Amino acid sequence: MSGAVNRFILAAAFLLLPSLASAQGVKRDDFFLKPLPSGAVGAVSGLETVCPGAGLLTTAANVSGNVATLTMASNPLTAGFVNGRTIQVLNFTGSDTYFNGTFTLTNVTSTQLVYALTHANSSASTNGGAVQNPTSSSGCAPTTTVYSDQALTVPIVQPFADDGRGNTTFYAAAGNYWIAYSASGLNLVPMNYLTLLPSMPGYQFADQFPGTDASVKTNACIAKVIANGGGKCDASGLFGAQTISQSILVGNHAQAPVTLILPQNSTWTVVGITDGVSCAIKQFSQSSILGPGTPGSGAMVIHAGANTNNLDSLYCTEAAPTGNGSYIRAEGFQLFNPNGATMVNGAMNVQALFDDSEFKNIVVASYGTVGLNVHGLVCCGTHFTNLTSNGNNVANSIPVQITQSVPSEVAFYNLSAGHPGTGRNAIVISGVGNGETVRFYNTYSEGNSTDTTTANVSAGSTAGLCMACSKSSAGRRTV
Q: How far from the centroid of its chain's Cα atoms is residue 41's Cα?
A: 25
What does the alpha-carbon distance between residue 229 and residue 215 come to, in Å, rounded to a whole number?
Answer: 21
Residues 6 or more apart whose CB falls under 8 angstroms from that of 446 comprise: 417, 418, 419, 426, 456, 474, 475
Q: What pLDDT, on the 0 to 100 scale, is given for residue 338?
A: 98
pTM: 0.67
Residue ranges in the chain whose pLDDT is less than 50: 1-23, 462-465, 467, 470-479
Q: How far is CA 45 from CA 11, 133, 170, 194, 221, in A?
A: 17, 19, 17, 22, 32
Q: What pLDDT, on the 0 to 100 scale, is given for residue 8?
A: 32
What does the alpha-carbon distance between residue 228 and residue 356 come to, in Å, rounded to a whole number?
Answer: 27
Q: What pLDDT, on the 0 to 100 scale, is given for residue 38?
A: 74
Domains of the chain, earliest start first: 8-52+142-196 (2.60.40), 56-132 (2.40.30), 203-473 (2.160.20)
Cis peptide before 465 (omega within 30 of 0): no
Backbone torsions φ then ψ of 263, nearest 5 degrees: -85, 165
Q: What pLDDT, on the 0 to 100 scale, is given for residue 475?
A: 39
Q: What pLDDT, on the 0 to 100 scale, is given for residue 432?
A: 73
Q: How far from the centroid of its chain's Cα atoms is residue 221's Cα?
A: 12
